[in-house]
Structure 1
Amino acid sequence: MAQTPQPLLVVEDDAIVRMLTVEVLVELGYQVLEAADAQAALKTLKDLQQPLALLMTDVGLPDMDGKALAVEARKLRPALPVLFASGYGDNLEVPAGMHQIAKPFSIDQLRDTVQGILPAVQG
C-alpha cells in the first residue's frame, strides 16, 4: 500500500487510545507521528521542516485544551486540516473549517472521516 507523502500527527494523552488510533491509521496506509500532550505536539508543529497532512487531537488534554492547540497549530500552519476526537459526542462546537469524530469511534468511522478530509491513500 502506498504511503501518503505527509504524515498525520495524532495527539492523545491516553496511551492505549493513542496506540490503537495510530495502529489503525498505519494499517490504512498513513504515516503517523504521535504526541502524548499538547507541548509535544507543539514541538512537532513548530518544526516547519516536518511536513504534516493532518492534526488529529483529543479535546481533553492534560496541559492544554485541544481547541486551544488547534488554534496554535493554525497560527503555525494555516492550511493544516484539524480533526478533533471527542468523548462529548456531536455536541462539541468546532471552529470553522475543522472536523470532529466522537469517541469511541470504530475503525470504519475513523477511516471514513480521515479519508473525507484527506485524499484517499492509493493502494
Structure 2
Amino acid sequence: MERPDQPKAETRTILLVDDDSIVREIASEILTMQGYHVIEAPNGHEALQRMSNGNGPIHLLLTDIMMPGMNGRELAEQLIVKQPTLRVVFMSGYNEDDLLRKGISSRSVTFVAKPFTIQSLSSAVKAVLDGQDNT
C-alpha cells in the first residue's frame, strides 16, 4: 500500500546506470513492466548529464557500484547534492565480502546482487521508494 504523499509507480522516474548494456536492457524492461519511467545511462558522467537535462525529478538512482571512471557510490554522492530527496539502490556482481573490502558495506545501503531476478529487483526498488530501505 502506497502512502498518499508518495507518487504512484507510473509517475516515478528511475535513473538506471550500468556500464553493461545487457544489464541495463533487462533492468529497464523489468522496471518499465512495473510501471516506472526509466532513464538509462552507461556511466556516471552520462547519468549526471541526463539528470540535469530537465527530465523532471528523479525518484530513484539504480546504479552498479563498480564501473569504470566514476563508481556508483561517487555518482550517488554527487546526485544527492543536487537532489537531496533522491533514493538509491546499488547493484553489483561482486559478493558481499568483496564489497566490504572495497569499503562499501551492504548493511548501510540497499543492495541488489547481480544476476538479479525480477522479484529481487522489483522488491528492492519498491521498498526503497516506499521508504522501507535498510539504511
* 2:126 pairs with one of 103, 115, 119: 115
| 1:76-119, Cα deviation, whole Å (9 max, x unpaired) | 11110011001123343259974211111100001111111113
SS state at 1:33 partner: strand
| 1:20-40, Cα deviation, whole Å (9 max, x unpaired) | 000000011111110011111
CA radius of gyration, larger in: 2
How many residues align structurally?
Answer: 118
* 2:31 pairs with one of 6, 11, 25: 25
Structure 1 residues 66-81: aligned runs within 5 Å: 66-81=72-87
**Does 2:107 align with 1:101?**
no
**Does 2:44 align with 1:38?**
yes
Q: In structure 2, do the counterparts of structure 1 residues 60 and 113 end up closer, same or farther at CA, with 3 Å as the change threshold?
A: same
TM-score normalised by structure 2 residue count: 0.77
Q: Is the 8 A contact 1:15 1:36 kept in 2?
A: yes
Q: Is the 8 A contact 1:46 1:76 kept in 2?
A: no
Q: Is the 8 A contact 1:94 1:100 kept in 2?
A: no
RMSD: 2.1
Larger deviation, residues 92-101 vs 62-71? 92-101
Q: In structure 2, do the counterparts of structure 1 residues 9 and 94 end up closer, same or farther at CA, with 3 Å as the change threshold?
A: farther
Q: In structure 2, do the counterparts of structure 1 residues 74 and 97 end up closer, same or farther at CA, with 3 Å as the change threshold?
A: farther
**2-side partners of 1:23 and 1:96: how far apart?**
27
**2-side partners of 1:38 and 1:18: how far apart?**
13
**Larger relative contact order (C-alpha < 8 A, sep ≥ 6)?**
1
Q: Is the 8 A contact 2:9 2:34 kept in 1?
A: no
Q: Which runs of 5+ in 2 are unaligned?
A: 1-7, 131-135
Q: Is the 8 A contact 1:7 1:32 kept in 2?
A: yes
